[in-house]
Amino acid sequence: MTDLAAAWTALEAAARKDAQTRIVDHFAAEPDRLEALVVEACGLRLDLSKQPWSRAGLGAALGLARAAGVEGARSRLFSGEAVNVTEKRAALHMALRAPDGAKFVALGKPVSDEVEAVRLRMKAFAEAVRSGSIKGATGKPFRTIVHIGIGGSDLGPRLVWRALKPLEPQIDLRFVGNVDPADIAQALAGLDAATTLVVVVSKTFTTQETMANAAAARAWLHAALGEAGDANLAAASTNLAACAAFGIPAERVFGFEGWVGGRYSVMSAVGLSCAIALGWDRFEALMEGAAAMDDHFRNAPLAANAPVLLALAHVFNRNGLGRPVRVVEPYADRLGLLASYLQQLEMESNGKRVTLSGAPVAQATATAVFGNAGTNDQHAFFQMLHQGVDVIPVDFVAVAKAEEGQQAQQAILLANAIAQAEALMTGSANAAEPHRHFPGDRPSSFILMDRLTPEALGALIALYEHKVFVEGVLWDINSFDQWGVELGKTLATAVLGELQGGAAGAHDASTAALIERLRG
């Protein structure tokens, strides 16, 4: 048996043993439990004491991390090696938010100077749009941005904007992701084309859904402003020729490189819309928070490393205890898109069935993630969390101080978050009325930030990014490719041709009948 196989066996054995003890009883047996399982880093307080592991279980999890070579993999990540093995690329989203003067390299090629140059262009453009020195086709300043992207070009900026949006923004920001024509129609409804900047985000400038929406937005601009409406376009892309053909000049195009994965790209040019609408200072603070978490992940020992410990807690539940689903529940309405963001970050990154070498995986991989925002969900699926048959771990995220509104209401919100985590763990016995019995012993993590600042949000995003990487190392999978999205896209192109009158292709009976029905 290899050291890694032995470490997995030890983790599974520890989990089986720990499952015989209720979580709440670990507190009595371990007076130093909080000291070992609470980590403060980059403005976040991560409490993993309500997870189902004992100190011995934690030790087995850390042993797995060492046997899997997490420290060496971390060094390769930050050194810009080809950790994305199927595409022979580095994964250097950390370079995007590193301070000026960083020396990141991708496959031996220096990249930090290029990052800083794009960042300077983004800053200049953002400040010029906000000041009104860059105007629309009719000479009016911009009052709204319509951001068009999909997947990683959409979910990250959406999360950031909802989390940090001013109550009365100088420039508002709307998003279009779905190719459903209702999405673009609703985004454009009520807007003045003369004061609307359309930002198209597509690395290749060929993504079908994005380009369909971009064409619809350009047609809307042209209908109101004529061809001069192209002055109201900008892009985040590396395909300058395609952007020029679309009507976007090179000075309005901001690039990002192949070592930036889409779901890791919010702090690249993909975040241009947020940089404009929030203001550069706040966008820069977002990057600073993420960079601080990068430094923590890179340098902290495994036993005090927030992303590592969060990953180990999730793996302990997923693999040690066979729990394939997890809830992410922010008790902060502004973070209501966090679970949606993590669905892509986690499930696209680690929803894999083969190892780096192409062999079948030996362990189950990514958990399914769902959630929205507390306290809403207490009146929806929390019933299942408390009394359902399945044990579903929860990541609670809370903010100590409200940025707006009454602190008294914030206290109610926080009381609910704390109480839900406690209730899930302790439960409530009621033998006389089984319908009122709460079994408890249901695990959770609790992430607390003092305020929902750009720095705290950046740290939270980076925390989960690095957590995903650690899990990928443990499972021996590539967290940075996404071949699973390609087959459906390829087939959709063929089906579209048939729906538009092309020759019928070879399909199963159900698919053929659907196409025939819609052609008719």
437 in catalytic set: no
Q: How far is 116 from 129, CA to CA, in rounded Å?
A: 20
Per annotation, catalytic residue among 12, 257, 329, 348: 348
Do 111 and 117 touch, CB atoms closer than 8 A? no
103 classed as catalytic: no
Out of 251, 379, 433, 435, the active site residue is 379
Q: If you search the block for the tokens 């040690």, which residue do you land on? A: 320
Cβ-Cβ contacts under 8 Å for 19 (sequence gap 6 or more): 52, 321
What's the rounded Cα separation, in Å, for the pair 84 and 478? 6
Contact 162, 372 (CB under 8 A): no
Count Cβ neighbours within 10 Å for each residue of 415-433 and write b for 16 or more, e otherwise: eebeebbebbbbbeeeeee
CA 209 to chain centre: 20
CA distances from 334 to 18, 158, 378, 420 (A): 36, 11, 17, 19
Residue 368 tokens, joined: 């399914």
Q: What is the largest CA-CA distance in the chain?
A: 75
| Residues 489/482, Cβ–Cβ less than 8 Å | no
Of 94, 25, 509, 503, nearest to 267 by C-alpha is 94
Peptide bond into 375 cis (omega under 30): yes
Does residue 440 contact residue 24 with C-beta atoms inside 8 Å? yes
Cα atoms in the 13 Å half-sphere on the side-chain side of 267:
29
Active site residue 507: no
* Cα separation, 162 vs 421, whole angstroms: 25
Report, as residue numbers or ranges, the catalytic residues: 348, 379, 489
